[in-house]
Structure formats: C-alpha cells, structure tokens
Amino acid sequence: MVGVKPVFWTASLEELKREFDSAGLPAYRAQQVWQWVWQKGIAQPTQMTDLPQSLRQKLEAEWRFPLPRLLHRRSSQDGTQKLLWELPEGGSVESVWIPQRQRFTLCVSSQMGCSFNCRFCATGQMGLERQLKGYEILLQVYGAKFLLGLPITHIVFMGMGEPLLNYSAVMEALTGLTQRMGFSARRITISTVGIPKGIERLAERPERFELAFSLHSAIPEKRQALIPTAAHISLESLRAALAYYCQKRRDWITLEYVLLANINDGPEDVAALRDFVAPPLAAKVNLIEYNPTPGLPFRPSPRLKEFQRALLRRGLIATIRYSRGRDIAAGCGQLARQLVS
Ligand code: SAH
C-alpha cells in the first residue's frame, strides 16, 4: 500500500497543521516536523528525536518521504560537480553544482530530456522522456544541500529540459524553494527557450524570479535554423512577452546567446541584437562560450571578446559566461547522462 500514502514534499505547512489538528495533535508539533524536514534536512521520522515515539510512527505510517539516490558524482578540475540522481518516480536526471568564490550555484533539470531540439544542445538530441514532478525538481536541491552537504546560494533552471513547458511542476518547485527552503526569488533564475504564454504567466507571479531567455540569434531565419521546434513562435511575439515581463517587474532580463563560429557571430548579428534590445525590453546580453558536443557540427566562436566589444560599443550591457565543468561534460548543453568515468 506504499503507493497510496501522500508524498510529504507536496504538503504545505497549513495542510500539515490541519492534518495534525484533526488527529488531536497541537500545531507546534507540525511546526517541529516542518523544521526537521525543511531546516535540518532530516527526512526520516525515526531521526526526529524530540518527537514522541508515537508521532514518529504515525508520520512513518502515513507519509512517504522519498529521496533521490545519487547514482554518479564527478568533479571537474575547476571544482564544478556533476550529479546524476535517480528520481523517486523512476529514471534519472543531472544537476550541476558550480562554485564561484562566494557564490554556489546549483543548476537543476526541469524535465527528463527535452522536447526542443536546439541543434547545438546535447540534451536536445535525447527527446523528451517524461515530465518531472514538482517535488522531483525540488529534491535535486534538497539532495545536493542536505544529502551531500553542498552549500547553495543560487539556483538556475538551466539543466535538462524546458521549464516553461513543465509549468505547474516548476511553480510547485519554486514554491518549495522560496517558502520551505528559504531561497530568495532573486537568486533563482529560470532560463527559457521562449514560451510566450509561460513568460506572461511568470510575470504575473508575486515573486521576482530572474528570467533568462535563450535568444541565440535575433535574425528570425537563423534562430529558426538553430531551434527548429520554435519555428512557429515568432520573435515579435517573444519580444512582446519579454517586454511585458520587464514592465510588470520594472526589471531587466538576460538574453542568453551561445556564440557559434561563422553562424551567429558576425556584424549583421550584432546589428540585429542591437535592434532587438530596445525599450520597452530591458535586457543585458550574456554571451555563452559554446561547449562542443560530439557529433554536432558546431564550433565555439573565436570572436567572443570581439563580439562583446561590438555590443558594448553599441551601448548594450554584455557579459561572457565562460564554460565550467566542460572536462566532465557538465557545461551548458552537455547534459545527456553519459557517464564520464
Ligand atoms: N530550455 C532552457 C534551459 C536550457 S540550458 C533554455 O533553452 O533556456 C541553458 C542554456 O544553455 C540555454 O541558453 C541553452 O541554449 C544553452 N546551451 C545549450 N547547449 C549548449 C552548448 N552546447 N554550449 C553552451 N550553451 C548551450
């Protein structure tokens, strides 16, 4: 009968208090359990030592506390770690932990595989295996923090999958991250290939999440060639949705731009990008160094710095994201679950 018990991760504190109340237990007991689970990272009722034995047994009998299982862990020379998790509902996904001075970023997956086939991305070549449940997204953070003891200050939805095509699960994970694990929304970035409806819905949320949009080319035909699945989503409709986000938030967004040799790194690309970033869209450009993927016909552009300078000269804000964890295939777009030994 294990399958019928509710998963603890999906419950809110209010629900737990109600449940406890109807069982004749005081609200502070619910609070205690909550602290064990979400603040101390203890998910086994037997280890909640200040609870009466009967309550520990009750929790054990009535709830499931499934945890992810670490299948594989690889460290890069630069300190980046790639984690392969087996998830409670079956199958596995990768998360990447990236230390950078005082900043510790965990990059999480929102889907198992991806339904977009961005030509340059290894995950894109896998296809979509399944949607992740909200709690499975959350457990990647919970597992890294509490099972592995890794410090985490920032979270980015830049692993496998397209977060805005698993919208309700991603929202559930975001609620868990902010309201249960205590992460500030400003330290959580959602990276999207560009789903206008999803961007608009995100703009309506009360929290101020950071938004990154994977543009890669502001020339419609080029973007279509790079991201064929997005062919039916026009750049104008995306620009309108992003502008709405900026206006609603009174904030900047980030445009991600993987610089590919001889593909999107020329003067016409700079000009198109310059035109794309105009009010009401407020955006900074993050140029991404391409991580080569075996079998794919792309090379990193040698013009990264030059391209950045060209954008700066035209008054844009442009930064470069150098590759991390490339030696263990943990860089952007390299997550395809091959085990690097
Ligand atoms: N589906 C989301 C998250 C994907 S990964 C999105 O498209 O934004 C995060 C970023 O890595 C995206 O900008 C993606 O286009 C980029 N990326 C994909 N493959 C890459 C590669 N091989 N090298 C560098 N960046 C890559």
Q: What is the pLDDT along the chain (341 residues), one digit of tens a residue?
A: 445 899 999 999 999 999 999 999 999 999 999 999 999 999 999 999 999 999 999 999 999 999 999 999 999 999 999 999 999 999 999 999 999 999 999 999 999 999 999 999 988 888 999 999 999 999 999 999 999 999 999 999 999 999 999 999 999 999 999 999 999 999 999 999 999 999 999 999 999 999 999 999 999 999 999 999 999 999 999 999 999 999 998 899 999 999 999 999 999 999 999 999 999 999 999 999 999 888 899 999 999 999 999 999 999 999 999 888 888 888 887 888 765 43
Domain span(s) for CATH 3.20.20.70 in the chain:
69-328
Active site residue: 15, 89, 94, 204, which one? 94
Residue 239 to residue 314: CA distance in whole angstroms: 20
Mutate which of 211, 214, 253 for ligand 1 pocket (most atoms within 8 A of beta carbon): 214
Instruction: Give the CATH H-level superfamily of domain 69-328.
Output: Aldolase class I (3.20.20.70)
Which atom of ligand 1 lies closest to the CA of 157?
3
Domain span(s) for CATH 1.10.150.530 in the chain:
8-62
CATH class of 8-62: mainly alpha
| Residue 94 falls in the annotated catalytic set | yes
Atom 4 of ligand 1, residue of closest alpha carbon: 158
Single pTM value for the model: 0.95
| Residue 332 falls in the annotated catalytic set | yes
Question: Distance from the CA of 86 to the center of ligand 1, in angstroms?
Answer: 22
Q: Is 121 in the pocket of ligand 1 (CB under 6 A)?
A: yes
